[in-house]
C-alpha cells in the first residue's frame, strides 16, 4: 500500500503553531505560537498547499511566512478565510506594537488571501495528489476536520474539535472509518463540567452582580466565545449590554455566513439589541449607561477591556472570565493575584472575579469517542500540553491501535 511521509513541524507536545507536512508538499495548518515572549513562527518552505482547519492564529498565523519563498494555495471554508484575514491583520499590528517584527512582510498577508481557495463542508477537492474533504468541527464558525485520501489510504485530521453542540454551533460531524487519525488533545487529560451546571453558575454570578448594582465585565475571545456568551445573555433576556473590540467585526462576519450557525435568529436578535461601541466617546458613554460589557481580549492582553479596567477600577465591578487563561497573561495574573499588570501599567482591582468553562474543545471522553468511531490503526496525538499521557490512555483503551505522541521535528511514514 502507498506510503505517506508526515513531518511534525509544530503543535507536537504543545498547544501553538500547529503544522504537519504531508509528503513535503501539503501542510495541515501553519500556525504561530503566541505567548508572553516573542511569537514563534514555522519555517519558510516552498510547498504546494495549506489545508487550513480554522481561523485561530495557532493554526493560520504562519501562512504568510510561506510567501517568502513560494505561493501555496490555502484551502479553507469561506468563514475561515474572512476570520483568519481579520486575525492575521490584527496580529501583525499587535506584534509591531509589542516590538516584534513578524518574519514576513505585511504584503504577504494580501498575497496569501489572493491564493485562498474556499471549500464548503462535505465538498471534495484534489490537492497535490490527495483527495480532500472538509467536515464541520464544531469548534468555532468555519472550523473543520479534514479527511485526506490518497489511493485508498484515509487520514483524518481533527483540527480543533468539539462534538457537543453549543448555542452557536452544531457539534462536529465525522467521516466513516479512517486508517490514520491526527487528533488534538487540548482536553485530553480533563473533562469539562456539565454545561447546564456551568451555565447556571454563570447566570447566578451575573444576577448576583446586577442585584448588587455592579457592572459586569466579560473579557471574551472575539471569534466564537463572545457570540456564545451573547446567546446566553439573550436566553436570559439581559439588557443594557455593550459589545466592544474585535467582537464587532467577527460578529459581522459570523452573521454574514449564517448557514452553519445553529441559532442564527437569536444571534441576530441579540446583536441587534446590544450597543456596538465605536470610539472612545461612545466607550465612556457606555461606561455610564450600560451594565454588561462583552469585550476583547479574553486574556486581557489588549483591547478595550484594558481601557475599561483603568476607567472602572474604583467602581463597583465584577469580572467574569469564560475562556481559558494562559499562564503569565494579564488575565491569569489578575484572576490569581487581584493585580492587573501589563507592559504599561500595574494596579490592584478589588472586584469579585469568576471563571467558567465554556470550552470549544472536546473533553477527554469525547476525544476517546472520536477514536472509537473512526477506529484507526494509527493515532498521532498533537495539540496538547501532555500528549504522552493522553497517548497512554488511548493505548490502554484501544489495545490494537498504534498510538504516538510525536515530538517537534519527528518524521513518520504512514
Give residues 85-124 in contact with Zn ion (rule: CB under 5 A): none
Give residues 368-397 in contact with Zn ion (rule: CB under 5 A): none
CA distance 236 to 335: 26
| Residue 41 C-beta: closest distance to Zn ion, Å | 16
Report the residue number, 142 or 331, with the smaller CB distance to Zn ion. Answer: 142
Give the N- to C-terminal CA distance of the chain in Å, as an integer.
Answer: 10
Q: Pairing state of beta strands 153-157 and 144-150?
A: antiparallel
Report the residue number, 83 or 403, with the smaller CB distance to Zn ion. Answer: 83
Which among 51-59, 161-169, 175-183, 277-285 is the span making contact with Zn ion, rule CB under 5 A? Answer: 51-59
Q: Does 225 bind Zn ion (CB under 5 A)?
A: no
Q: Does 150 bind Zn ion (CB under 5 A)?
A: no
| Residue 160 C-beta: closest distance to Zn ion, Å | 4
Which among 86-94, 155-163, 225-233, 328-336 is the span making contact with Zn ion, rule CB under 5 A? Answer: 155-163
- Torsion-angle region of 270 (φ positive above 0: left; ψ -120 to 50: alpha; else: beta): alpha
Which among 53-61, 90-98, 235-243, 269-277 is the span making contact with Zn ion, rule CB under 5 A? Answer: 53-61
Q: Does 29 bind Zn ion (CB under 5 A)?
A: no
Cis peptide before 378 (omega within 30 of 0): no
Q: Does 56 bind Zn ion (CB under 5 A)?
A: yes
β-partners of residue 144 are 136
Report the residue number, 221 or 238, with the smaller CB distance to Zn ion. Answer: 221
Which among 158-166, 228-236, 265-273, 389-397 is the span making contact with Zn ion, rule CB under 5 A? Answer: 158-166
Q: Do 63 and 87 contact (CB within 8 A), yes or no?
A: no
Report the residue number, 121 or 307, with the smaller CB distance to Zn ion. Answer: 121
Which among 156-164, 291-299, 302-310, 397-405 is the span making contact with Zn ion, rule CB under 5 A? Answer: 156-164
Report the residue number, 58 or 90, with the smaller CB distance to Zn ion. Answer: 58
Report the residue number, 52 or 320, with the smaller CB distance to Zn ion. Answer: 52
Cell numbers placing 167: 448555542
Question: How many Cβ atoms sit within 10 Å of the Cβ of residue 263?
Answer: 19
Sign of the Cα torsion 47, 148, 78, 270 reads negative
Question: How many Cβ atoms sit within 10 Å of the Cβ of residue 111?
Answer: 15
Which among 37-45, 58-66, 349-357, 406-414 is the span making contact with Zn ion, rule CB under 5 A? Answer: 58-66
Report the residue number, 242 or 299, with the smaller CB distance to Zn ion. Answer: 299
CA distance 58 to 15: 8
Residue showing cell 487528533: 183
Q: Does 58 bind Zn ion (CB under 5 A)?
A: yes
CA distance 199 to 217: 17
Report the residue number, 209 or 363, with the smaller CB distance to Zn ion. Answer: 363
| Residue 126 C-beta: closest distance to Zn ion, Å | 27
Q: Does 160 bind Zn ion (CB under 5 A)?
A: yes
β-partners of residue 182 are 157, 380
Report the residue number, 57 or 374, with the smaller CB distance to Zn ion. Answer: 57
Q: Does 17 bind Zn ion (CB under 5 A)?
A: no
Report the residue number, 56 or 248, with the smaller CB distance to Zn ion. Answer: 56
Total binding residues for Zn ion by CB under 5 A? Answer: 3
| Residue 143 C-beta: closest distance to Zn ion, Å | 7
Q: Rounded to the nearest 5°, which phi and psi values hold at 45?
A: -125, 165
| Residue 55 C-beta: closest distance to Zn ion, Å | 8
Cell numbers placing 217: 465585565
Which among 48-56, 66-74, 229-237, 302-310 is the span making contact with Zn ion, rule CB under 5 A? Answer: 48-56
β-partners of residue 107 are none
Q: Rounded to the nearest 5°, which phi and psi values hold at 312?
A: -105, 10
Q: How many CA atoms lie within 13 A of 356 on its CB side?
A: 23
CA distance 59 to 30: 5
| Residue 282 C-beta: closest distance to Zn ion, Å | 31
Distances (CA, A) of 110 to 19, 74, 107, 396, 414: 21, 12, 5, 47, 35
> CA-CA-CA-CA torsion for 410, 53, 23, 394, nearest 10 degrees?
50
Residues that bind Zn ion (CB under 5 A): 56, 58, 160
Amino acid at each position: 500500500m502507498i506510503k505517506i511521509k508526515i513531518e511534525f513541524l509544530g503543535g507536537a507536545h504543545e498547544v501553538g503553531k500547529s503544522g504537519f507536512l504531508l509528503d513535503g508538499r501539503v501542510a495541515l495548518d501553519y500556525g504561530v505560537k503566541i505567548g508572553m515572549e516573542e511569537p514563534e513562527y514555522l519555517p519558510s518552505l516552498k510547498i504546494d498547499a495549506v489545508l487550513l482547519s480554522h481561523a485561530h492564529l495557532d493554526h493560520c498565523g504562519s501562512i504568510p511566512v510561506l510567501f517568502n519563498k513560494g505561493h501555496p494555495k490555502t484551502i479553507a471554508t469561506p468563514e475561515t478565510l474572512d476570520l483568519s484575514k481579520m486575525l492575521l491583520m490584527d496580529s501583525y499590528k499587535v506584534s509591531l506594537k509589542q516590538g516584534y517584527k513578524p518574519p514576513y512582510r505585511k504584503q504577504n498577508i494580501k498575497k496569501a488571501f489572493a491564493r485562498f481557495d474556499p471549500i464548503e463542508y462535505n465538498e471534495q477537492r484534489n490537492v497535490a495528489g490527495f483527495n480532500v474533504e472538509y467536515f464541520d468541527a464544531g469548534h468555532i464558525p468555519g472550523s473543520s476536520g479534514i479527511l485526506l485520501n490518497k489511493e485508498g489510504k484515509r487520514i483524518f485530521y481533527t483540527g480543533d474539535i468539539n462534538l457537543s453542540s453549543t448555542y452557536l454551533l452544531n457539534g462536529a460531524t465525522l467521516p466513516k472509518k479512517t486508517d490514520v487519525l491526527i487528533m488534538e488533545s487540548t482536553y485530553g487529560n480533563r473533562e469539562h463540567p456539565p454545561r447546564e451546571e456551568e451555565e447556571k453558575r454563570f447566570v447566578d454570578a451575573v444576577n448576583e452582580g446586577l442585584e448588587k448594582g455592579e457592572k459586569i465585565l466579560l473579557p471574551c475571545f472575539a471569534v466564537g466565545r463572545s457570540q456564545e456568551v451573547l446567546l446566553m445573555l439573550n436566553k436570559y433576556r439581559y439588557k443594557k449590554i455593550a459589545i466592544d473590540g474585535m467582537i464587532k467585526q467577527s460578529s459581522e462576519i459570523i452573521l454574514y455566513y449564517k448557514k452553519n450557525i445553529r441559532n442564527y435568529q437569536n444571534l441576530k436578535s441579540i446583536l441587534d439589541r446590544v450597543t456596538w461601541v465605536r470610539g472612545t466617546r461612545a466607550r465612556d458613554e457606555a461606561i455610564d449607561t450600560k451594565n454588561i460589557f462583552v469585550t476583547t481580549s479574553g486574556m486581557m492582553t489588549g483591547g478595550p477591556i484594558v481601557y475599561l479596567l483603568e476607567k472602572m477600577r474604583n467602581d463597583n465591578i465584577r469580572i467574569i472570565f469564560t475562556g481559558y487563561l494562559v499562564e503569565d497573561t494579564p488575565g491569569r495574573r489578575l484572576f490569581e493575584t487581584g493585580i492587573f499588570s501589563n507592559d504599561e501599567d500595574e494596579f490592584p482591582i478589588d472586584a469579585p472575579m469568576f471563571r467558567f468553562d465554556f470550552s470549544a474543545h472536546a473533553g477527554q471522553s469525547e476525544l476517546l469517542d472520536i477514536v472509537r468511531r473512526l477506529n484507526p490503526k494509527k493515532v498521532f496525538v498533537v495539540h496538547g500540553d501532555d500528549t504522552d499521557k493522553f497517548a497512554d490512555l488511548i493505548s490502554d483503551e484501544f489495545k490494537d491501535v498504534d498510538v504516538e505522541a510525536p515530538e517537534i521535528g519527528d518524521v513518520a511514514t504512514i
